[in-house]
Chain A
Amino acid sequence: MVRRRKTLQRLMSRPDADTPSRGVFTRRALVVLGAQMAAFGLLGHRLYGLQVVEGDHFARMAENNRVSRRLIAPPRGRVVDRFGIAVASNKVNWRALLLPEETSDIPGTLDRFSALVPIEARDRARIEREIRHKRRFIPVMLHDFLSWDDMARIELNAPSLPGVLIDVGTTRNYPFGPLMAHVVGYVAPPGDKDVAQDQTLALPGMRVGRAGIEQTQDGLLRGQVGAVEVEVNAVGRLMSELSRDEGQPGDEITLTIDSGLQQAVLGRIADQSASAVVMDCRNGEVLAMVSNPSFDPSLFDSGVSQAQWQEWATDPRTPLINKAVAGVYPPGSTFKPAVAMAALKAGTLSPTDRIFCPGYLDVGGTRFHCWSRYGHGSLTLKEGLKFSCDVFFYEVARRTGMDAIAAASHSFGLGTNLDIELQHTRAGLIPTPEWRRAHGQHWNGGDTIVSGIGQGFVQVTPLQLATYVSRIASGRAVQPHLVRAISGRQTDGTDGGHWPALDMPEPFLAQLRAGMYAVVNEEHGTAPKAKLDIPGVQMAGKTGSAQVRHVSRALRESGHFDSSSLPWEYRPHALFICFAPYDAPRYAAAVVVEHGNAGAAVAAPLARDIMTDTLTRDPANRKEPPGQVVAEVEDFE
């Protein structure tokens, strides 16, 4: 060191001690060195600026770089029937994935895999394309919906399948298929519009309810999205987990439906184009709601093919429409109790009044015929209902007026928007002079007459009919509903007595019930076929046949008219409404067989069978489903 210092001193003090070139060199070398040191100084200053002065700013940017928030899709809530049997659930979907970076021999691994679980040529092409295009640590799907056998084979051969892993996903599962389709609805992957409204729907695995309960209860079923904060590297690869919020699984929706009864009702309907609603007439619980034909709701999860859609859309029996809430039909004679109630309330008819039926009624120059050419003679209200005499109700309607009939009908729920948990419902119509005027037309006296037997403009849905008969039976303004509980919490309105009493005196309601009792149980009633075969239990009901095409007087009078010879789509609809047991009403039902021809012959026996099943199963008084096999339900949880 001492020597070096001396050297330096010598260099500094006598720059050109040795040779001229050495002197020049030394000076210039010092200039160069000075410049170099200055450059280092500037770099050090710059480093100070970056690391210390702006350090916080860059540290924040660094944090943003590395922390990535990833959302977790919550499991969608199940939908179960009143006894807890799954109607819509999440089916576990076992998938085999390949992590390309973990195998050195991709074609070999694929060959060995397809020897265990065959891969189609098209899938193979897709897999190879994905492997080429994706980053090597992103798994590529090899095969989904693996069976237990497939998985066992894969697991057993794991050593020869490097990079192959098994992963769990979910798909929506509808164990009952078409049986519940109209009630439960279906889900589909969210569209761009849904995602624009709710960003979380972009998560893989999220589904949006598109119809039925799945649609109306979508917010509850969907649950709360969870989030994981993970540390990622520059290429987005997950390094570690920083925090985790599992989110909230969707609520479980318990329906009022008894899936066993639903199945029994569908079994009775068989292949007719028909709908039926069974209700608990005390509390409004819908125990069965069948609309036939139906569709398979699980098809929507993966997307419906064009051909399938065409087939559904062009079918005259409208499989995609829930006829129970969106099918509107003239109520026909089933409307008569409502007309009677209107008259009783208005005082234009008393229970003891008699009206004579000669087989026709002339009003304002027009002759209105009874269904019986020979007439029914002198009738009381009860007899009018029993024989379903048209002239009786022509006269009652004429006396009462359309506004009073409409008011009573609305009180019964007919022609109103019932607040049921389904979308795409229709209100139907109870026409009034005012409604006619609003459409720029005049209300004729004849319109009232025709409306008196539920024809003309009158249109109702099967659910409205079921509600109507429930209200007649219970005397309360019960509202039909499908949701019984949400995640085990009972929702309002499932208890009897919750609903307010109707604004109708009990004796009047008793008159209607008595008339309906006579229809089924007394000699010469219109629906003897509806008589129950259960000792000590009677059913009350009312038939209805609703014309869909005007039948001319000439044809009718020719005596050769037989509606069953008409083409299917021109035949009248067959309707039947009923409740049982007569002395302590509990269940109400409405049946509409599209173009079934005659209520008494087609709808009444059907309703009797349905009511027999309902009374046998007695879902309202049970906590558990009756012992019989409900369905072969394959349901992985």
Chain B
Amino acid sequence: MNFQKRLLRAEPNFRILAKLWQVNWLYVLLICALALVGYGALYSAAGGSSRPFAGPQTIRFAIGLVMMVCVALMSPRVLTRLAWPLYGLSLVLLVAVLRMGHVGKGAERWLIVGGVQLQPSELAKIALVLVLATWFHRVSYRRMVNPLYLLPPAAMVLLPVGLVLKEPNLGTAVIIGVVGATIFFGAGMRLWQIALLLLPLPFLGKFAYSHLHDYQKARITTFLNPESDPLGAGYNIIQSKIALGSGGMWGQGYLHGTQGQLNFLPEKQTDFIFTMIAEEWGYVGGIAVIGLLMLMVIGGMLIAMRSRNQFGRLLGLGIATNFFLYCAVNLSMVMGTIPVGGVPLPLISYGGSAMLTVMFGFGLLMSAWVHRNDHFGEAGDRS
């Protein structure tokens, strides 16, 4: 401890070293473990080759890792100042993608910036977490009794949710909304306020369903009865279930999953990568991956709870919840529990945009850990 304190007080050069020392390397190891699982799965998805998926993904992961460490070293003060510009940028990008984005299968919109595919909705999630954490860091628990303090952050949530809904990407919109709501909850929104808000929800849901696109409605109906359209919209769900089931307890063996290797499984390198893993490694492998994901979420939540400033806590909560939602939605989707939507499995699915934003998120989480003992600009919450 003494050594650390001495380092912290020492020259700036040493402060960086000290911060590096502070990074939770155990958690980084966990991240690397998941990335390794991803590498193995992508290697198999390409039929036993590091090209075209596993190799590029590793490079992206390495870039993401460096970026994560850089972000981890940034102090909360810098991050709170970055929050607003980043949030503004994400909104601009969301508008831009609506106007001139590319539409992929179904509807995933992306922009191409300097040859890199960019999905603004991914960035929007992180920016929202940052900006909400910044807001609630300044608005104390006591002041939140006044609903007026909740209106600006509510607008901050609804703005990106609305824009993403318009893309239209229902899955991501729901995830953004739930992440926002979780931060509201964690920040100390009163229970009566929550109850008041939940009351009109059923009517809202009915209204929303009537405004869904046909393909989104189709997803909901085929989810309820996938066999109704085995070669159409229900195909993905049925094939995924078949592949999972044929994996059995112990799996068909690495590189020998018939459904995945024979391409019956759709999008096996992105959305349905978990199915592929569970087919080849069986229930045992599937549970192992779920276990790793659980550890990631638990770790994130512990980091959040450990922080001594509200910003760090909410940041951690937001990032961990975002990660959890990614995993839960993706897993439910491949197991046919919720309607299919283009949500990848973080760190494992192939895709640059998701990988970089997820690593950026972990950078923020790590920053919260590194600066867990900092106190700064909190609005007189101390008693």
Least CB distance, B135 to chain A, in whole angstroms: 13
Least CB distance, A349 to chain B, in whole angstroms: 84
Chain B residues 251 to 281 lying within 8 A of chain A, measured CB to CB, are: 258-259, 262-266, 278
**Are A25 and B245 closer than 8 Å at their CB atoms?**
no
Chain B residues 324 to 356 lying within 8 A of chain A, measured CB to CB, are: 324, 327-328, 331-332, 335, 337
- Does B290 have its Cβ within 8 Å of any Cβ on chain A? yes
- Does B103 have its Cβ within 8 Å of any Cβ on chain A? no
B185 in complex: contacting residue of A28, A52, A66, CB < 8 Å = A28
- Does A11 have its Cβ within 8 Å of any Cβ on chain B? yes
Chain A residues 51 to 83 lying within 8 A of chain B, measured CB to CB, are: 51-52, 54-59, 61-63, 65-66
Query: How distant is the Cα of A3 from the Cα of B101 in the complex, in angstroms?
Result: 49
Q: Given known contacts A20-B381, A66-B259, is B187 in contact with A25 (CB within 8 Å)?
A: yes
B249 in complex: contacting residue of A36, A44, A52, CB < 8 Å = A52
- Does A7 have its Cβ within 8 Å of any Cβ on chain B? yes
**Are A55 and B245 closer than 8 Å at their CB atoms?**
yes
**Are A40 and B293 closer than 8 Å at their CB atoms?**
yes
Of B140, B294, B305, B324, most buried by chain A (CB within 10 Å of CB) is B305
**Are B182 and A24 closer than 8 Å at their CB atoms?**
no
Query: Closest chain B residue to A26 by CB distance?
Result: B305
- Does B297 have its Cβ within 8 Å of any Cβ on chain A? yes
- Does B282 have its Cβ within 8 Å of any Cβ on chain A? yes
Q: Given known contacts A21-B188, A47-B283, A65-B242, is B294 in contact with A29 (CB within 8 Å)?
A: no
Number of B residues whose C-beta is below 8 Å from A? 57
- Does B162 have its Cβ within 8 Å of any Cβ on chain A? no
- Does A435 have its Cβ within 8 Å of any Cβ on chain B? no
**Are B141 and A24 closer than 8 Å at their CB atoms?**
yes
Q: Within 8 Å CB of A50, what residues of B?
A: 241, 244-245, 335
**Are A40 and B290 closer than 8 Å at their CB atoms?**
yes
Query: How distant is the Cα of A28 from the Cα of B290 in the complex, in angstroms?
Result: 23
**Are A62 and B313 closer than 8 Å at their CB atoms?**
no
Q: Within 8 Å CB of A21, what residues of B?
A: 140-141, 187-188, 310, 381
**Are B244 and A47 closer than 8 Å at their CB atoms?**
yes
- Does A37 have its Cβ within 8 Å of any Cβ on chain B? yes
Least CB distance, B339 to chain A, in whole angstroms: 15
Q: How many A-B residue pairs have CB under 8 A?
A: 161
Least CB distance, B5 to chain A, in whole angstroms: 16
Query: How distant is the Cα of A7 from the Cα of B369 in the complex, in angstroms?
Result: 13
Q: Within 8 Å CB of B265, what residues of A?
A: 234
Query: How distant is the Cα of A232 from the Cα of B332 in the complex, in angstroms?
Result: 28
- Does B321 have its Cβ within 8 Å of any Cβ on chain A? yes
Q: Given known contacts A58-B246, A62-B243, is B298 in contact with A19 (CB within 8 Å)?
A: no
Q: Within 8 Å CB of A29, what residues of B?
A: 186, 301, 304-305, 313, 317
**Are B335 and A55 closer than 8 Å at their CB atoms?**
no
**Are A18 and B308 closer than 8 Å at their CB atoms?**
yes
Query: Closest chain B residue to A233 by CB distance?
Result: B262
Q: Given known contacts A22-B313, A33-B301, is B383 in contact with A59 (CB within 8 Å)?
A: no
A47 in complex: contacting residue of B185, B259, B287, B301, CB < 8 Å = B287
Q: Within 8 Å CB of B287, what residues of A?
A: 44, 47
Q: Within 8 Å CB of A65, what residues of B?
A: 239, 242, 258-259, 262, 264
- Does A39 have its Cβ within 8 Å of any Cβ on chain B? yes
**Are B381 and A59 closer than 8 Å at their CB atoms?**
no
Q: Within 8 Å CB of A313, what residues of B?
A: none
**Are A36 and B305 closer than 8 Å at their CB atoms?**
no
**Are A62 and B337 closer than 8 Å at their CB atoms?**
no
Query: How distant is the Cα of A37 from the Cα of B294 in the complex, in angstroms?
Result: 7
Least CB distance, B169 to chain A, in whole angstroms: 21
Query: How distant is the Cα of A420 from the Cα of B196 in the complex, in angstroms?
Result: 96
- Does B286 have its Cβ within 8 Å of any Cβ on chain A? yes
- Does A239 have its Cβ within 8 Å of any Cβ on chain B? yes
- Does A436 have its Cβ within 8 Å of any Cβ on chain B? no
Query: Closest chain B residue to A239 by CB distance?
Result: B262
**Are B186 and A62 closer than 8 Å at their CB atoms?**
no
Contact with A along B134-171 (1 / 0, CB 8 A): 00000011100000000000000000000000000000
Q: Within 8 Å CB of A37, what residues of B?
A: 294, 297-298
**Are B259 and A51 closer than 8 Å at their CB atoms?**
no
Query: How distant is the Cα of A462 from the Cα of B256 in the complex, in angstroms?
Result: 71
Q: Within 8 Å CB of A8, what residues of B?
A: 302
Query: How distant is the Cα of A39 from the Cα of B324 in the complex, in angstroms?
Result: 9
Query: How distant is the Cα of A48 from the Cα of B335 in the complex, in angstroms?
Result: 11
Q: Within 8 Å CB of A232, what residues of B?
A: 262
- Does A231 have its Cβ within 8 Å of any Cβ on chain B? yes
Q: Given known contacts A40-B294, A47-B278, is B283 in contact with A54 (CB within 8 Å)?
A: no
**Are B381 and A32 closer than 8 Å at their CB atoms?**
no
- Does A46 have its Cβ within 8 Å of any Cβ on chain B? yes
- Does A43 have its Cβ within 8 Å of any Cβ on chain B? yes
Q: Within 8 Å CB of B305, what residues of A?
A: 11, 25-26, 29-30
Least CB distance, A370 to chain B, in whole angstroms: 85
- Does A554 have its Cβ within 8 Å of any Cβ on chain B? no
**Are A66 and B310 closer than 8 Å at their CB atoms?**
no
Of A19, A57, A233, most buried by chain B (CB within 10 Å of CB) is A19
Query: How distant is the Cα of A44 from the Cα of B317 in the complex, in angstroms?
Result: 23
Q: Within 8 Å CB of B286, what residues of A?
A: 47, 51
- Does B180 have its Cβ within 8 Å of any Cβ on chain A? no
Query: How distant is the Cα of A61 from the Cα of B241 in the complex, in angstroms?
Result: 10
- Does A551 have its Cβ within 8 Å of any Cβ on chain B? no
Q: Within 8 Å CB of B293, what residues of A?
A: 40
Query: Closest chain A residue to B243 by CB distance?
Result: A62
**Are B185 and A32 closer than 8 Å at their CB atoms?**
yes
A39 in complex: contacting residue of B259, B308, B328, CB < 8 Å = B328
- Does A2 have its Cβ within 8 Å of any Cβ on chain B? no
- Does A235 have its Cβ within 8 Å of any Cβ on chain B? yes
Least CB distance, B144 to chain A, in whole angstroms: 9
Least CB distance, A394 to chain B, in whole angstroms: 82
**Are A62 and B258 closer than 8 Å at their CB atoms?**
yes
Query: How distant is the Cα of A33 from the Cα of B186 in the complex, in angstroms?
Result: 11
**Are B306 and A7 closer than 8 Å at their CB atoms?**
yes
**Are A59 and B246 closer than 8 Å at their CB atoms?**
yes
A234 in complex: contacting residue of B185, B263, B304, CB < 8 Å = B263
Q: Within 8 Å CB of B64, what residues of A?
A: none
Query: Closest chain A residue to B238 by CB distance?
Result: A61
Q: Within 8 Å CB of B245, what residues of A?
A: 50-51, 54-59, 61-62
Contact with A along B282-320 (1 / 0, CB 8 A): 110011001001100110011011101010011001000
Least CB distance, B21 to chain A, in whole angstroms: 14
Query: Closest chain A residue to B282 by CB distance?
Result: A51
**Are B383 and A19 closer than 8 Å at their CB atoms?**
yes
Q: Within 8 Å CB of A39, what residues of B?
A: 324, 328
Chain A residues 1 to 18 lying within 8 A of chain B, measured CB to CB, are: 4, 7-8, 11, 18
B264 in complex: contacting residue of A7, A30, A66, CB < 8 Å = A66
Query: Closest chain B residue to A58 by CB distance?
Result: B245
**Are B278 and A32 closer than 8 Å at their CB atoms?**
no
Query: How distant is the Cα of A318 from the Cα of B4 in the complex, in angstroms?
Result: 113
A-B contact pairs, 23 of them (CB 8 A): A11-B306, A19-B383, A20-B142, A24-B188, A25-B188, A25-B305, A25-B313, A29-B186, A32-B182, A32-B317, A33-B301, A36-B301, A43-B331, A46-B332, A47-B290, A48-B283, A51-B244, A52-B283, A61-B246, A65-B239, A66-B264, A233-B263, A234-B239
List 4 additional A-B contacts (Cβ < 8 Å) besides A37-B298, A62-B245.
Answer: A25-B305, A40-B328, A47-B278, A55-B245
Query: A residues within 8 Å of B by Cβ?
Result: 4, 7-8, 11, 18-22, 24-26, 28-30, 32-33, 36-37, 39-40, 43-44, 46-48, 50-52, 54-59, 61-63, 65-66, 231-235, 239
- The list of the 6 closest CB pairs from A to B, nearest first, reads A58-B245, A62-B246, A21-B141, A233-B262, A51-B283, A234-B263
